[in-house]
Structure 1
């Protein structure tokens, strides 16, 4: 005899597994042996259904409760509050040295309250560093915040439906990069929790015909917010009229609701984790009081402030760090400069720190100000900062910050994370399987090739490089592509746009080959419908990817081409049409 399971006080089995009352079908007969066998099978199935339903109720309660608790723990453990810390009047802030106020009604507006900025200011105010007047300090560009405050007023007055950047602000990284972080990014749902859904236990119990959830089932809404058909029309009569198929449909509906709620809470947890990570440079966190000291320079009566820890990564000997250090420079008034220039310079240094992993664009000034601003930028030691993290130092093809800036501008990704190196031939070899292993499944691929000491060029595929499922085949598909030259074919970094009929790539499997229109096997990969062949040979593919062919039609060459041409006027970005690549890199460039 099987041992009896120990029960808890509420009648459920110990360890979380519930014991349901046995089915009444165990005492039912049909008068025929074949029918009795089916009834017995049904009785066992109903027993199993009841037990599984009660177990599912218990597990759903546990999982959803744990997820909700983990979201709350993320908030409170990081110094946040569940309810907004202020809901009326205005909040006074020190934004990068400029004291200004922001109306709470604007932060609580339905189009704003889930943004990173509103979440930070409504629920994590006490975690912001404080200035010498004990005002919360927000590490941001004052002109952007002043613009945002005006937009909030227009949003409240219903002149605007949403806050969106347009030119000229959209072209200014001191606006666009903060807007992308503070306003465009949103949490997955209210910090107070997901839309209320039917209780998992009650829904499952009612669907299974068990007790405890019967009264709640009368007024229960379905998973989409509508009333459940046939319910609430008299408890006894309504239940007797529901057939087995209808009951099973209800069970499935409640199961879908529980899964949806669980997935929604999981997404909210992930969204909260992402928010906390992004806001780390703006809150006190574990930093010492010295690290979060607000440093200030003045331009006449105006102040330009920054946290000590924000500029510390530049190094103690850096010109900007020394300028903010009264021990190095007792006079904390900046003379013979403009407030605008100093704010832009400090904000550039700020964005390099508070937006880790992003491609940080340099400040934008009017054309007639560029020469003057370059002098100021150099005076504070920020004209040689590698703006793309370690990319400039890591690349053998795109060698300087200016070249990276030029290429990033070509990709037209205004807010982008720093380029990440996926593949480098000198590190990963020119072997085709190694190449595929590094780049497959990634999107936004920047190819950079070097042919000798003079010719450096590449192409950008604004999509994935996708090999065929069958390794013996090739995959030919349409994807946006352009080429560029760093040196050799053009005097300066130059983008070569391709017509629509050239926006194609062909990728062979590890045992396949890319063929030309004559069906001749030639290479492992071609890009731009034959403008670049990797692993090229006749017949192909070659032993590895270093054997290449590259050319561009005369009609598609950009203005300024200074390389050689053939009889048809076609040019090339390498030293010769058929060449051996001595370094090949593939970088991933993505929007932030």
Structure 2
């Protein structure tokens, strides 16, 4: 059977799925019974919005099975981890049979099958959520295709498929393919965990994500909040980044805040994030300060660690997980009792509105440090040490070049 898998056309050994232990899988039923419900691409070739590398692997294994070179167990249980997302869906068992049974389109088995495979079925079919059109571009001579439904929530990337017909030239084929498959998986399984793609050139992968407007999804994957929505409440390119602005916009927000901070280095860009999993609350007394206990985690996005390490998570000691916020006319004091900043996170590991001789109203005036022992094992720190402390920024005290502050809210129906 000729199939187009994510832009790669291949001859797929569909008949091998009729093996006794495979004919009850979702993929067997999809291709043998509902092939007409798939989208088509090019000259009418049935299209499956999935990873072509997985189907290449499966195609080889099915041919080996046909030739009695392997046991079916090697297919069912021998899938490489990189393909598990698709393997667990397509080779899952279904109670629906390849041969139609009277009234089975109204059965629980049919509903279960559509819940599992609806993401690959034309949206014009009842229960199908796979979109109505296949969109494709060429990257380094390779076709990359996906359903319009995959791109619907990502306007910038969708325009690359619909408005700019030339080949992609500023991003490698490998990275472009990875970001398309990343959002494809989000569409197929919106309630599942969304791990970030991996790359030996992670800075280039981030560049591609940023170019195509995917950084908010990257942040959600980074902090493991797959069931959340993210909304920017303050961005220094549009806002004044004054402390009072943050207090006003964070008032009443309960879902936590994510601070994404960037500073320049003479040879590389340092970007890091701090997630506080709780509200930011200012004291009612404008001259006081208020401490709120909540989980705090840091992330190095780029700059402080080797590029191959990807995004690096740094845990904060459990007895330092709190946020101190000053009143609008006050300051948070340091360990010496000196007025120092407007927001102090994790006992000073991040200061916002930090001044040399007292607090600064501008949140972009920052200080960030970590104890040497808090650097994670197995990662290569390439920053400097200052009085024995590491930093995720270019230097401990700095005025950031870019600051974004997001609020996180749980999606409806999530636990």
Q: TM-score if structure 1 supplies the norm length? A: 0.41
Residue number in structure 2 paired with 1:450: 263
Q: Specify the structure having the higher radius of gyration (Cα).
A: 1
Following superposition, the deviation at residue 192 of structure 1 comes to 4.3
SS of the residue 1:428 aligns to: coil
Q: Give distance in 2, aligned partners of 1:539 and 1:523.
A: 10
CA contact (8 A) 2:276 2:294 kept: no
Residue number in structure 1 paired with 2:362: 544
CA contact (8 A) 2:39 2:121 kept: no
Aligned partner of 1:387 among 191, 194, 208: 208
Aligned pairs for 1:13-32 within 5 A: none
Residue number in structure 2 paired with 1:584: 403
CA contact (8 A) 2:277 2:294 kept: no
Following superposition, the deviation at residue 545 of structure 1 comes to 1.4
Following superposition, the deviation at residue 584 of structure 1 comes to 1.3
Distance 1:503 1:416, change over 3 A: farther
Q: Give distance in 2, aligned partners of 1:363 and 1:386.
A: 12
CA contact (8 A) 2:39 2:46 kept: yes
The total of aligned residue pairs comes to: 347
Bigger strand share: 2
Q: Give distance in 1, aligned partners of 2:206 and 2:368.
A: 34
Residue number in structure 2 paired with 1:476: 293
Aligned pairs for 1:39-78 within 5 A: none
Q: Tell me, yes or no, if structure 1 residue 100 matches structure 2 residue 8.
A: no
Aligned partner of 1:351 among 178, 181, 185: 181
Q: Which sections of structure 2, spanning at least 5 residues, go unmatched?
A: 66-70, 95-103, 149-159, 188-193
Distance 1:315 1:389, change over 3 A: same
Aligned partner of 1:318 among 167, 177, 181: 167
Query: Could you say which structure has the greater relative contact order, defined with CA pairs below 8 angstroms and 6 or more residues apart?
Result: 2
CA contact (8 A) 2:275 2:297 kept: yes
Q: Give distance in 1, aligned partners of 2:213 and 2:351.
A: 26
Q: Give distance in 1, aligned partners of 2:254 and 2:78.
A: 32
Q: Tell me, yes or no, if structure 1 residue 144 matches structure 2 residue 144.
A: no
Which string of whole-angstrom CA distances, capped at 9 and with x for unpartnered residues, describes residues 428-484 of structure 1?
321235435369455683622326877853443456342249756331223333446
Q: Give distance in 2, aligned partners of 1:510 and 1:180.
A: 52
Q: Give distance in 2, aligned partners of 1:98 and 1:550.
A: 55
CA contact (8 A) 1:522 1:538 kept: yes
Q: TM-score if structure 2 supplies the norm length? A: 0.54
Distance 1:386 1:521, change over 3 A: closer
Aligned partner of 2:343 among 500, 521, 525: 525
Distance 1:529 1:469, change over 3 A: closer
Aligned partner of 2:37 among 127, 135, 142: 127
Residue number in structure 1 paired with 2:98: none
Root-mean-square deviation (CA, aligned residues, Å) is: 6.4
CA contact (8 A) 1:515 1:521 kept: yes
Q: Give distance in 2, aligned partners of 1:346 and 1:449.
A: 24
Q: Give distance in 2, aligned partners of 1:313 and 1:458.
A: 32
Following superposition, the deviation at residue 144 of structure 1 comes to 1.1
Deviates more, 1:470-479 or 1:491-500: 491-500
Aligned partner of 1:427 among 238, 247, 250: 238
CA contact (8 A) 1:476 1:506 kept: yes
Distance 1:193 1:477, change over 3 A: farther
Q: Tell me, yes or no, if structure 1 residue 460 matches structure 2 residue 281.
A: no
Following superposition, the deviation at residue 506 of structure 1 comes to 0.8
SS of the residue 1:388 aligns to: helix
Q: Give distance in 1, aligned partners of 2:143 and 2:267.
A: 45
Q: Give distance in 2, aligned partners of 1:433 and 1:279.
A: 50
Bigger helix share: 1
Q: Give distance in 1, aligned partners of 2:206 and 2:41.
A: 28
Q: Give distance in 1, aligned partners of 2:214 and 2:130.
A: 32
Residue number in structure 2 paired with 1:46: none
CA contact (8 A) 2:262 2:269 kept: yes
Distance 1:351 1:547, change over 3 A: closer
CA contact (8 A) 1:506 1:514 kept: no
Residue number in structure 2 paired with 1:565: 386
